Amino acid sequence: MQIEKHTLDNGLTVLLKESRHAPVTTFWVWYRVGSRNEVPGITGIAHYAEHMLFKGSRAFPKERVHKEIARNGGVRNAYTWLDFTTFFETLPADRIDLGLRIEADRMVNALFDPEEASRERTVIISEREGAENQPTFLLREEVMGAAFRVHPYHHDTIGDMCDLETISREQLWHHYQTYYGPSNAIAVAVGDFEAPKMRARIEQLFGPLVARAEPPPVTRTEPPQRGERRLDLEGPGSTAYLQAAYRGPAAKDPDFFPMVILSSILTGASGMNLSMSSPPNRTSRLYKALVEEELAAAVSGSLSPMVDPFLYNITATVRAGRTVDEVEEALNREMAQILAEPISEEELQTAIKQSKAQFAYSSESVTNQGFWLGYASIVADVGWFEGFIDSLETVTVKDLTRAADKYLRRRNRTVGRYIPQGL
Amino acid sequence: MSSSFPSAETISRTELPNGITLLTYESFDSPSVVIGGYLWAGAISEDAQQAGLSGLTAGMLMRGTENRTFGQINGALESVGAQLAFRSGVHSAGFGGKALAEDLSLLLDILADSLQHPTFPAAELEKLRGQVLTAIQRRAHDTGRMAWLTFDALLYPDHPYGRSVLGYEETVSALRGAHLLDHYRAHYSPQGMVLAVVGAVSSGAVLDTVRSALGDWQAPDASPDQSIPPHVSLDQTRRESATVGGKSQSDLVLGWPAMARSDPDYMKAYVANTVLGIFGMMGRLGENIRERQGLAYYAYSQLQAGLGAGPWAAIAGVNPANVERAIQGILDEARRLRDEPVPQDELADSQAYLTGTMPLRLETNEGVVSALLDIERHGLGLDYLLHHADLVNSVTVEQIQETAQKFLDPDCYALAIAGPALGTA
């Protein structure tokens, strides 16, 4: 579990972790830029730029990159989210050099060909249209918009349609030049390699890349919430959904760990995997109150570790034949309960054990480990990741009472309801 | 590298006297263990009026036993971060679970209890039924799922592959506890059951634990249903649209009846499908429909070769205005694969991808469980993973073309489209 951390002269952070259980290595480069860094007019640009970074360079034309990775038995992908943009290759361990070369090249040599930018626009619009088909996407977008009036967490990573239609190639290029410098990036390698050799090779490939100016900071802090916000969204379908979003702490806030325990008690342990899918939560309080009581067909929660204070989101699918009002009333009763009575030591210990199990499962795949190590380094730091379980173990019942009082009150939440209108 | 793949040397395979086949593989890299398996109690034995029966039955196994309530089962599992779930497929009812290695006996104990002593409590059935009916309601407004539902019914009329395992509102509403109990008694049996256990527990210890949990199970009155439904054929194009109003995107599935996993054509089609809709960024379909035309975020192909002859299909999600162009793109690529020999280097790329990514697929305990179950289900032999690369590499340019000509007829196919009614988008 030894993680080596280095910083190159040009500012690139390098994290290395040997993991010898399979002849596989994963290599990631994480950029500290996501939709958090966007302003109205160019929402969705971080994600659009990520797509453009698959369009190749002179050294690695796009057709060649796909083929080289695949023919070497590798997989590759990229993700853009609120806080980050990241790219990875996972390859048989003896071929990982290809991933290193592709990422070093991507950091400085991408072409952003105007014709490619134009073709990709319709692909991204299609991606957004696919998302719009899902009521839960539409509801989440509305709730985020209401929960954040000032902070750019206001808009979803995919961006607003009007911006996707108008973002220019020049704006994409400017985004690339602004945010893709080595000092704004973290390189992560996990797998079957010798750390000194991996370090030397990364230095050789990334060391010569010229440092760029520090990107502008995000200055738009969300002011405190002064009362519950509510919205109803109408759309096609027969199923109603309820989303309750409580303003929560940032990953680095000491309150984050008590909130992990509270979210586990309310909606179940969080999965620590790439897909962020959660394990079953049938013993959680809200499952019992909503699903066992036959008001909801499903309930889930998410407390994402984030750079800036974000949300603890609870989403319930209203059961056929029930109403969203009934689900909300039951939710309110349960949330009042957690404020009224202290959590038992037993519930606390169960939540810790559940998180430990998720942590153990997450270490099976090097790709997953690379994901978590990089993600944690973006939203907090390596120590936060290494100390994750220890931090949970130091949480006390008193911490839970204080955190519940601070974050789980109605005045601190946004409630969104999806009201189906039939076909 | 292939020497590190699970093989006859490292996989333990044991047949218990009651008919259960146990496959184990040791991996001590993470302190966890994964289990998976199946029994011959799938939807294949349902008639059309009972669609959803096998799924409800599987879903009820953990909702109360002679020894534990639903709450106790979940309490025991979740308090140690373990998980277990049953679900039904067409041919079999399957299960999967994971736990910290120290909790394997608990996991197997609950598996055994759920399989041998379910009580199908009436109140729990109503809870589950409501969840299934909600899922069916959601499906009716999900363009991707409605395209598949429509496609399956179109290609496989009056056939088990044409029916939804989840069921339909009217069939699920009509099922009674007695139906579930009948299905359970008729088909749940250790005879032919397969269980794979992979993780940080020695094979010997796993065998002891499995023997003590499941070794005494007998179900002499049950008859596992291993029947294989007949092949279907298409003699003319069938096209159907499912209207899903108010949506921004249409989904389409265009395909053909193909082959079973055991068919000699399978390996050729497996490689041909990789060329058509998987390699790199979704193969030739992705290159045409996404990269060149910018029509879709996803356009790929899928070969479902199981115990019976499943479909070989192309899938795309596009703006309603672009449906016809996407269909044309798919048919053009089917035609090209039939009319022109695939360039040798393009074939070699797909072959290298299929053989080279095997270590990645076997990296997790889940991945190994899935491979072991595949090997057992299709009788591939414990050394299959060692031969996989040779089998893939033996496919020739001529065979790709012959396979495309045999299966991918651009003038005779089934096509389902789900989305806004055309002209209203």
Provide the token pair at B411.
């003038």
Q: Are residues A182 and A311 in the same domain?
A: no
Name the amino acid, one letter, at B23. Answer: L
Q: Are residues B195 and B99 in the same domain?
A: yes
Q: Given CB atoms, is B321 within the 8 Å cutoff of chain A? A: no
Angle at B367 between CA B215 and CA B63, to 5 degrees: 50
User: What number of residues does chain B have?
Assistant: 425
Q: A397-422: per-residue pLDDT in tens?
A: 999 999 999 999 999 999 999 999 98
Q: What percent of chain A has pLDDT over 70?
A: 98
Asked if the Cβ–Cβ distance from A282 to B80 is below 8 Å, we say no
pLDDT on residue A273 = 62
Q: Is residue A278 part of a domain?
A: yes
Provide the token pair at B327.
């269909």
Q: Is residue A70 part of a domain?
A: yes
Q: Given CB atoms, is B357 within the 8 Å cutoff of chain A? A: yes
Between CA B102 and CA B115 the distance in angstroms is: 22
Q: What percent of chain B has pLDDT over 90?
A: 94
**Residues of chain A contacting B74 with CB distance shorter than 8 Å:** 280, 282-283
Asked if the Cβ–Cβ distance from B29 to A21 is below 8 Å, we say yes
The answer to whether A75 touches A128, Cβ cutoff 8 Å, is no
Q: Is residue A52 part of a domain?
A: yes
Asked if the Cβ–Cβ distance from B247 to A236 is below 8 Å, we say yes
Between CA B412 and CA B256 the distance in angstroms is: 8
Provide the token pair at A355.
């998180």
Average pLDDT, chain A: 94
Q: Given CB atoms, is B100 within the 8 Å cutoff of chain A? A: yes
How far apart, in Å, are the Cα atoms of B358 and each of A23, A327, B196, B277? 11, 46, 19, 19
- CA-closest candidate to residue A388, choices A366, A364, A362, A350: A362
pLDDT on residue B1 = 41
**Residues of chain B contacting A70 with CB distance shorter than 8 Å:** 279-280, 349-350, 352-353, 356
Asked if the Cβ–Cβ distance from A283 to B78 is below 8 Å, we say yes
Q: Are residues B208 and B260 in the same domain?
A: no
Window 276-315 of B: residues touching A by CB (8 A cutoff) are: 279-281, 290-298
Q: Is residue B305 part of a domain?
A: yes
Q: Are residues A201 and A236 in the same domain?
A: no
Q: Are residues B174 and B305 in the same domain?
A: no
Q: Tell which of A68, A91, A120, A123 to mutate to test the B interface (max B CBs under 10 Å).
A: A123
Burial class (CB in 10 A: 0-12, 13-18, 19+), B19: middle
Q: Which residue matches tokens 């959590």?
A: A343
How far apart, in Å, are the Cα atoms of B75 and each of A94, A287, B67, B223, B270? 45, 13, 14, 33, 43
Mean pLDDT of B404-421: 97
Between CA A126 and CA B105 the distance in angstroms is: 48
The answer to whether B407 touches B269, Cβ cutoff 8 Å, is yes
Window 234-253 of B: residues touching A by CB (8 A cutoff) are: 243-249
pLDDT on residue A358 = 83
pLDDT on residue A71 = 85
Helix (H, G, I), strand (E, B) or coil at A44: coil
Q: Is residue A222 part of a domain?
A: no
Q: Are residues A156 and A302 in the same domain?
A: no
Mean pLDDT of B361-375: 95
Q: Are residues B278 and B399 in the same domain?
A: yes
Show the 3-state SS of chain B.
Answer: CHHHCCCCCCCEEEECCCCCEEEEEECCCCCEEEEEEEECCCHHHCCHHHCCHHHHHHHHCCCCECCCCHHHHHHHHHCCCCEEEEEECCCCEEEEEEEEHHHHHHHHHHHHHHHHCECCCHHHHHHHHHHHHHHHHHHCCCHHHHHHHHHHHHHCCCCHHHCCCCCCHHHHHHCCHHHHHHHHHHHCCCCCCEEEEEECCCHHHHHHHHHHHHCCCCCCCCCCCCCCCCCCCCCCCEEEEEECCCCCCEEEEEEEECCCCCCCCHHHHHHHHHHHHCHHHHHHHHHHHHHHCCCEEEEEEEECCCCCCCEEEEEEEECHHHHHHHHHHHHHHHHHHHHCCCCHHHHHHHHHHHHHCHHHHCCCHHHHHHHHHHHHHCCCCCCHHHHHHHHHHCCCHHHHHHHHHHHCCCCCCEEEEEECCCCCC
Q: Tell which of B131, B168, B250, B287 to mutate to test the A interface (max A CBs under 10 Å).
A: B131
Q: Is residue A364 part of a domain?
A: yes
Asked if the Cβ–Cβ distance from B75 to A283 is below 8 Å, we say yes
Using the predicted structure, report yes or no on whether residue B423 has a pLDDT greater than 70. Answer: no
Q: Is residue A220 part of a domain?
A: no
Show which of A148, A173, A206 is a domain's final residue: A206
Using the predicted structure, report yes or no on whether residue B354 has a pLDDT greater than 70. Answer: yes
Show which of B181, B214, B247 is a domain's final residue: B214
Which strand (E) or helix (H) includes residue A257?
helix A256-267
Using the predicted structure, report yes or no on whether residue B425 has a pLDDT greater than 50. Answer: no
Measure in Å the smallest separation between the Cα of A1 and chain B Cα atoms.
Answer: 11
Using the predicted structure, report yes or no on whether residue B3 has a pLDDT greater than 90. Answer: no
Between CA A309 and CA A295 the distance in angstroms is: 31
Domain containing B76: what range? 2-214
Between CA A319 and CA A52 the distance in angstroms is: 41
- Of B138, B143, B352, nearest to A239 by CB-CB distance is B138
Using the predicted structure, report yes or no on whether residue B2 has a pLDDT greater than 80. Answer: no
Name the amino acid, one letter, at B179. Answer: H
Q: Is residue B57 part of a domain?
A: yes
Q: Which residue matches tokens 């179900």?
A: B219
pLDDT on residue B103 = 96
Using the predicted structure, report yes or no on whether residue A63 has a pLDDT greater than 90. Answer: no
Using the predicted structure, report yes or no on whether residue B93 has a pLDDT greater than 50. Answer: yes
**What is the count of residue pairs from A and B with beta carbons less than 8 Å apart?**
200
B409: alpha, beta or left? (left if phi > 0; alpha if psi -120 to 50): beta
Helix (H, G, I), strand (E, B) or coil at A211: coil
Q: Are strands A241-247 and A311-318 parallel, antiparallel or unpaired?
A: antiparallel
Between CA A45 and CA A178 the distance in angstroms is: 12
Q: Is residue B58 part of a domain?
A: yes
Mean pLDDT of A267-272: 81
Structure confidence at residue B4 as a pLDDT band (50, 70, 90): confident
Measure in Å the smallest separation between the Cα of B173 and chain A Cα atoms.
Answer: 12
Q: Is residue B228 part of a domain?
A: no
Between CA A105 and CA A98 the distance in angstroms is: 11
Q: Are residues A248 and A201 in the same domain?
A: no
pLDDT on residue B419 = 96
pLDDT on residue B421 = 87
Provide the domain count of chain B. Answer: 2
Between CA B383 and CA B390 the distance in angstroms is: 12
pLDDT on residue A274 = 60
Mean pLDDT of A63-71: 85
**Residues of chain B contacting A134 with CB distance shorter than 8 Å:** 142
Provide the token pair at B224.
């596992």
Q: Are residues A186 and A249 in the same domain?
A: no
Q: Residues 6 or more apart from B288 whose CB is under 8 A from it?
A: B299, B329, B332, B333
Using the predicted structure, report yes or no on whether residue B264 has a pLDDT greater than 80. Answer: yes
Asked if the Cβ–Cβ distance from A70 to B71 is below 8 Å, we say no
Asked if the Cβ–Cβ distance from B74 to A317 is below 8 Å, we say no
**Residues of chain B contacting A281 with CB distance shorter than 8 Å:** 78
Measure in Å the smallest separation between the Cα of B234 and chain A Cα atoms.
Answer: 31
Q: Are residues A357 and A269 in the same domain?
A: yes
Q: Are residues B281 and B370 in the same domain?
A: yes
Q: Is residue A9 part of a domain?
A: yes
Mean pLDDT of B267-277: 98
Provide the token pair at A121.
């626009």
Q: Tell which of A96, A133, A284, A345 to mutate to test the B interface (max B CBs under 10 Å).
A: A133
For residue A361, the chain B residue with the least C-alpha distance is B32
Q: Are residues A263 and A301 in the same domain?
A: yes
The answer to whether B107 touches B206, Cβ cutoff 8 Å, is no
Query: How far is Cα of residue B280 from the mean position of the Cα atoms in its chain?
Result: 23
Average pLDDT, chain B: 96
- Of A70, A90, A236, nearest to B245 by CB-CB distance is A236
Q: Are residues A81 and A137 in the same domain?
A: yes
Q: Are residues A245 and A192 in the same domain?
A: no
Provide the token pair at B253.
């599935």
pLDDT on residue A121 = 97
Q: Report the CATH number that the domain containing residue A241 is assigned in CATH.
A: 3.30.830.10
Q: Are residues B200 and B309 in the same domain?
A: no
Q: Are residues A294 and A354 in the same domain?
A: yes
Structure ipTM: 0.91
Q: Is residue B221 part of a domain?
A: no
Q: Given CB atoms, is B424 within the 8 Å cutoff of chain A? A: no
Q: Centre a 10 Å sphere on the Cβ of residue B48 and count the other Cβ atoms it contains.
A: 12
B124-161 burial: b if 16+ Cβ within 10 Å, else e: bbebbbbbbbbbbbbbbbbbbbbbbbbbbbbbbeebbb
Show which of B154, B180, B214 is a domain's final residue: B214
Name the amino acid, one letter, at A242. Answer: L
The answer to whether A41 touches A92, Cβ cutoff 8 Å, is no
How far apart, in Å, are the Cα atoms of B137 and each of B128, B159, B175, B241? 14, 23, 17, 18
Between CA B23 and CA B58 the distance in angstroms is: 22
Asked if the Cβ–Cβ distance from B297 to A123 is below 8 Å, we say yes
pLDDT on residue A422 = 86
Q: Are residues A175 and A260 in the same domain?
A: no
**Edge-to-edge order in the sheet of strand A413-420:** A229-235, A413-420, A241-247, A311-318, A296-303
Measure in Å the smallest separation between the Cα of A179 and chain B Cα atoms.
Answer: 25
Asked if the Cβ–Cβ distance from A280 to B78 is below 8 Å, we say yes
Using the predicted structure, report yes or no on whether residue A105 has a pLDDT greater than 80. Answer: yes
Q: Are residues B268 and B394 in the same domain?
A: yes
Q: Is residue B18 part of a domain?
A: yes
Between CA A14 and CA A350 the distance in angstroms is: 35
Q: Are residues B190 and B256 in the same domain?
A: no
Mean pLDDT of B307-331: 97
Domain containing A365: what range? 229-420
Q: A327-386: per-residue pLDDT in tens?
A: 999 999 999 999 999 999 999 999 998 888 887 887 778 998 999 999 999 999 999 988
A378-406 burial: b if 16+ Cβ within 10 Å, else e: bbbebebbeebeebbeebeeebbbebbeb
The answer to whether A223 touches A229, Cβ cutoff 8 Å, is no
Measure in Å the smallest separation between the Cα of A349 and chain B Cα atoms.
Answer: 9
Between CA B400 and CA B346 the distance in angstroms is: 11
Q: A131-143: per-residue pLDDT in tens?
A: 999 999 999 999 9
Show which of B163, B198, B214 is a domain's final residue: B214
Q: Is residue A281 part of a domain?
A: yes
Q: A168-214: per-residue pLDDT in tens?
A: 999 999 999 999 999 999 999 999 999 999 999 999 999 999 999 99
pLDDT on residue A1 = 59
Helix (H, G, I), strand (E, B) or coil at A283: coil
Q: Are residues B201 and B287 in the same domain?
A: no
Q: Report the CATH number that the domain containing residue B339 is assigned in CATH.
A: 3.30.830.10
Give the alpha-carbon dihedral of A16, A19, A25, A31, to 10 degrees.
Answer: -30
Q: Are residues B248 and B378 in the same domain?
A: yes
Could you tell me which residue, A67 or A273, shows the higher pLDDT?
Answer: A67
Could you tell me which residue, B231 or A270, shows the higher pLDDT?
Answer: B231
Using the predicted structure, report yes or no on whether residue B312 has a pLDDT greater than 80. Answer: yes
Between CA A21 and CA B169 the distance in angstroms is: 48
Asked if the Cβ–Cβ distance from A236 to B141 is below 8 Å, we say yes
Using the predicted structure, report yes or no on whether residue B258 has a pLDDT greater than 50. Answer: yes
**Residues of chain B contacting A124 with CB distance shorter than 8 Å:** 297
Provide the domain count of chain A. Answer: 2
pLDDT on residue B424 = 46
- Of A126, A128, A360, nearest to B32 by CB-CB distance is A360
Q: Are residues A121 and A8 in the same domain?
A: yes
The answer to whether A245 touches A414, Cβ cutoff 8 Å, is yes
Q: Is residue B223 part of a domain?
A: no
Between CA B140 and CA A158 the distance in angstroms is: 25
